[in-house]
Structure formats: C-alpha cells, structure tokens
Structure 1
C-alpha cells in the first residue's frame, strides 16, 4: 500500500512520524541522562505524547482518505470510447442484457458487497466518496477482479465473501458501465 500513496502523502507521513520518533528518543534517552527527575509531572509529558499520537493518526487518516493513488501503481485503464446513448441507457446496463452484467449490477447493489457506499457509479445511482470514482477511473475487468479479490489501501478484500462468479459478474458490470453516463 505504501508504494501506491502519492509523494505528498508519503512526505506527510514521513515528517509526522519523524517528529514523533524524535520526541520518543529525546524523552527516552537524552533528557533522562541530563535530568534524573524527568518528568517532574506526567501531565505535560503525557499531553505532548498524546498530541504526537493524534497527529500521527490524523496524518494516516488524511493520507488514506484524501490522497489518490498514483496511476502507475493501480494500472489505470486506458481511455475508452464512451458508448452512445442508443447503446446503453441507465435502465439497461448492457446492450442485449448480458447476463453477467445484469448479475454484476445486483452484486454491486447488494449489502454483501456494499460497493456503492464507497464508490461513485452513475449507472448504479451511487455517489460514495471513500474509494475511487469508477466513472472517472473506468477500470478494466481485470483490474476490478484484482481489487475486489485482494483489496488495496482502505478497500477490503472480498475473496471468501463473494464467490468467484460474483466477482467476475461485478467486474463485467463495472468495466461495461463505468463512464457511460
């Protein structure tokens, strides 16, 4: 996961973690050698330590919530032509009613998968903001299978929660309708 975080995210985590580690080393090694009574009161020491901990957790949350992963790391799908209005409409997710795509739409909407709570996909009428906007990313079926099966970043793996067929249907649906609306 660390390799897929943007450079800004990596630098933010490094700076905050470095300050926290420096605080820990100074208060564990350097100050006690010079002042045997350190800390005179625990209140200040605990307060500063809690502030550093909160900053570190806040930085982790901020990076995982707001920093997009670098496109080379996630294998961004190449630009595809958008289907015309006659090829696809929101009520019919695939030309000819492809069974895998129809089944994939059901998996996307199911409570078991819960895709729409994190992802935006116009065809499904969802606007989640935790994960990538699937209409913008337009992932390939292979990428969807990989991410749903193995997870990445804050996205959990669904291997064992969804069957291989459900994952394949979901990948067919997302890769077919993403960016079509």
Structure 2
C-alpha cells in the first residue's frame, strides 16, 4: 500500500509517523530519567499533546493515504520500467482416471466385501449398493465419498462404517482411477 503512494504522500506520512514515534520514545525513555515525577502535575498537558499526535496521525493517514484518481493512475503499478509479476498459473485440471485400473483398486482395497457393484461382481451388504447409490452422481460426489465418507451418509446406514483414511492411504491416481471405475461402470 505504501509503495503505491506518490512520493509526496509517502514522505508526508513518514514525517508525521516519525514525529509521533519520536514523541513516544522521548516521553517514555528520556524525560522520565531526568524528571522521575514525569508527567506529575503536567499530566493534563501530556494527555493533550498525546491526543494531538494521535489525531494528527489519523488525519495524516486519511489525507496522505488517499490519492486522486489521476495521481494514482500515474504513480500506481504502471511506473516506467516497472514490470508486474506473472499471475500464477491456473491449477491443473483434475486428472481423468482409468476405469480398468479403478477396478483393480476396488478389489485390492476390499470394497467388494462391503458393497454391491455389478461391474466388479461385488455382492457385499455391509455398505450401500453402489449401483443404486451412485446413480446420477457426478465424479466430484464420488471422489468426496471416498476421501470423506461421512460427509454424506447413504440412507439406512450409520456413519463411520466405511474406512475414513482412503484419502491418505490411496494415491491421487488410485483415487481418480477408482472414481472413473465407479462413475463409468455404474
């Protein structure tokens, strides 16, 4: 923000801030050594001066912190010789999984012992029948159901039946392959 101000505004703000800091340091470190009773009977004046500096600093921020539109356009980020950093690249698109590899993951992780899923010849009954539970669901829903299975619980089932750690134990490729298998085969 300070770098976007014109030189005059930055200097004005720095001068007022410097005076405020100097007053604070002198009144806290120097004067009390010479006058141990400070501020003593002059407390009222000390409070007035402190408030003047405080209000002055707020006014300086308000005055020097604002630029006219023309000045801001001239002194903003379009200074000659100044280059802007490149914006960060967009995040990579979600990897498309491979359904045949997903079938292997489905079997290797023991999904067939809990779920019914015709494409895998699975007949488990502990968890929901994936042929019906995933009908009309998109890949994002299936992915979320694997990595955070308690987010949406299928009707008639209790939470925590499905292992909660597939997001940590499976690689992103394995998860994408499993999602592809479940969405393309169902």
| TM bucket, shorter chain | 0.3 to 0.5
Give the structure-1-normalised TM-score: 0.41
Work out which of the two has the higher radius of gyration on C-alpha atoms and give 1 or 2.
2
Give the structure-2-normalised TM-score: 0.40
